[in-house]
Chain A
Amino acid sequence: MKQIEGSRAIAETVALCRPEVICAYPITPQTHIVEALSEIVKAGELDPCAFINVESEFTALSVAIGASAAGSRAYTATASQGLLYMTEALYNAAGLGLPIVMTLGTRAIGAPINIWNDHSDAMALRDAGWIQLFAESNQEAADLHVMAFRLAEELSVPVMVCVDGFILTHAFEPVDIPTQADVDGFLPPFEPREVLNPAEPITIGALVGPEAFTEVKGLAHQKMLRAIERIPALASEFAARFGRTSGGLVRSYRTFDADTVVVALGSVSGTIQEVVDAMRDKGQAVGSLSVGTFRPFPFAAVRQALMHAVRVVVVEKNVAVGMGGVLASDVREALGAEAPLVHTVVAGLGGRAITTTSLRRALEQAHAGTLELLHFLDLDRPVVERATAKEMCR
């Protein structure tokens, strides 16, 4: 255990995974991760490995695509606007089945420009064909990268490890950085299924027309679903080797006999658990569910965890403007026709603190039946009302 910044813990763990090509373009709050990696590579501690400073995120992922197709273990990291700037390449990497691993230091998306944490970036690219894992803590953020490379290479699917910007990336916590021997034992060397090789030339990235495009996409979906089986198995194997629990599909906290269950992604789960404990102390039957694997969405695991709930409150750090909450929508889909009441609580946008007091108030309202179906936590209503009134006068 050492007291270490989240970004440093991630960088050191990524280095233990022996990536061969690392490429990155700086963006807050991802910078500390790639700075640390550039130092590790430059010092020769990770040989052989190329660290490539590129001129954009689109290039960062494109370099990773080339490196991966040529048989290298490739890694990059980004956030927010950077992820959106990569969009075209994200779909391409997934479509080509390249097992690239990327850290996403989750951050809001402008306008208005905002460098602080929420999940708008991860949500925007949730359907790009990447597995998306969310870390609750810095320990899990580090550990997920070891699992991510293994999972990506087993399935030939790229994996995005989503780590809350600033809240985790810049926080100092005790983290147990695994040993090289343990990581090597868990993560075998990368053996690409198909590789650019002059001795056995293949064509990668051919044009596919209507006669086969549906099959290609159908197979991609099927392959993605295999992660639903592999993730719990890998988490168990990880626990056996490293002696701690990290990763997995979902994690329930005091949900047994809970009539109200709070669902969330990422680091806010810790805050939610505090609220759950406080309310349990008052005899209220509350529990929480942390969704660790967001893509592929673990429908069955979510359904099972929420089976006995009377109401579900999804706390999410994004708003799909004109729709509501993305995670809540997926949770409703998981619950099907006999769904309990599912509330969406939009919270923590653009880095606004999610306090136990505000969360608890929302849960009390849910219990009393007074919580809106779509609720913006701590919304400054007078400001919104004034602006709305002005707009109406135009």
Chain B
Amino acid sequence: MSGQQPIKFYQTGTFTVGNRLLDPEKRTVQASIGRSNALTSGHRACQGCGEALGARYVLDAAMRATNGRLVAVNATGCLEVFSTPYPESAWQVAWLHSLFGNAAAVASGVAAAFRVKRSDVRVLAQGGDGGTMDIGFGCLSGMFERNDDVLYVCYDNEAYMNTGVQRSSATPAGARTSTTPAVGSDPGNAFGTGKNLPALAMAHGIPYVATASVADLHDLEAKVDRAMAVHGARYLHVHVPCPLGWGSDPAKTIEIARLAVESGLFPLFEAEHGEVVRSTPIRRRVAVDPYLRLQTRFAHLFDGGVAGAEVIARIQAIADKNVARFRLASTETESELP
């Protein structure tokens, strides 16, 4: 099939774009030479940046789904900074950045303008976990409850990486950040804090909510496709490791993302109108231990002390709870929930 490069992108041992065994129509957007390259190369993201990878897949999938009739709105954050240092821009999509906390509201305005103009152009808003879950949460909730025709994508790397790894409401329990240092009797980020944004999105009853990971880019693209097939407010929460903030090897971004999924710490599911409709079962369940060990933000848990072992057990309990809640232990390839 013209426009397809069946072999060139094959990457051993990943789900990235190694889809030469798939029928052309099932191959990823990235496998097509006709992809939009909405976020093109040459930007200034760090090596192994999960967010850059996630954004490229999301945007290209959304561009394909809309036949290029797409506008992107970006919150302030790493993605905005590394992609648009004047006079350069890595965006080959119509792109607007306004402020840190208002991407969802700006996207609502763009969507309203196109609705009034009776245009078919669709709107995608994107930001990091800080811009989405903390400072942008009010605007996001407003966009959800009005059911504005916007797909909002959160690239969750679990802290404020752009400003130097400070804690956000997405920072996991036990993790060291520059504002939750690994000192004192309760090192790292406190247990019992933070928020579950996909659940909050679902509570708005919006048509579509999904979680995805850069560990499974095919699944990520499929979710973007599904999101773009419906109108109204939609939310996609993408888990994106940050080698800088997590203290991990840039070469292991995908591996770490996969361990988060396979341990149950980051459940993959989809919800429609407030109800979970599908979850992705874990094929090969792993303990949280190997996931945590690859990141220096958890290094204080592995100093041989009893306290560290207790914290790891508590993190394991969080993973176990997710597995039960989202039925991730199922042996079927995709669990259809009632």
Contacts and interface: CB of A to CB of B under 8 A. Distances in A.
Given A201-B92, A201-B93, A205-B96, A63 B85 contact: no
A58 B139 contact: yes
A49 interface: yes
Interface in A192-214: 196-198, 200-209, 212
A50 B106 contact: no
Contacts of A68: 109, 113
A205 B68 CA distance: 21
A196 B142 CA distance: 23
Contacts of B109: 21, 23, 52, 62-70, 72, 74
Interface residues of A, number: 43
A58 B95 contact: no
B99 interface: yes
Contacts of A49: 116
A92 to B, nearest CB: 5
Interface in B76-90: 80-81, 84-87, 89
A265 to B, nearest CB: 29
A55 B89 CA distance: 32
A203 B113 contact: no
Given A52-B108, A208-B86, A201 B95 contact: yes
B116 A50 contact: yes
Given A71-B117, A89-B102, A209-B86, A198 B112 contact: no
A6 B86 CA distance: 45
B293 interface: no
B84 A198 contact: no
Given A20-B113, A63-B109, A66-B113, 15 more contacts: A48-B117, A58-B102, A59-B142, A63-B105, A63-B106, A65-B98, A66-B98, A66-B109, A67-B112, A69-B106, A70-B117, A198-B69, A203-B89, A206-B87, A207-B80
- Interface secondary structure of B, over-half rule: mixed
A198 B105 contact: no
Interface residues of B, number: 45
Nearest to B38: A201
Contacts of A69: 96, 106, 109-110
A66 B116 contact: no
A88 interface: yes
Interface in B102-136: 102, 105-118, 121
Interface of B: 68-71, 73-74, 80-81, 84-87, 89, 91-99, 101-102, 105-118, 121, 138-139, 141-142, 145-146
Contact of B116 (A62, A72, A209): A72
Contacts of A197: 94
A301 interface: no
Contacts of A198: 68-71, 93-94, 121
Contact of B112 (A21, A56, A58, A88): A21
Interface string A17-32: 0001101000000000
A200 B93 CA distance: 9
A258 to B, nearest CB: 47
B94 A205 contact: no
Contacts of B110: 66-67, 69-70, 196
Contacts of B89: 203, 206
B127 to A, nearest CB: 13
A353 interface: no
B102 to A, nearest CB: 4
Contacts of B108: 52, 54, 59, 62-63, 66
Contact of B85 (A88, A201, A204, A209): A209
Contact of A66 (B68, B84, B96): B96
B109 to A, nearest CB: 3
A96 B98 CA distance: 8
A20 B139 CA distance: 21
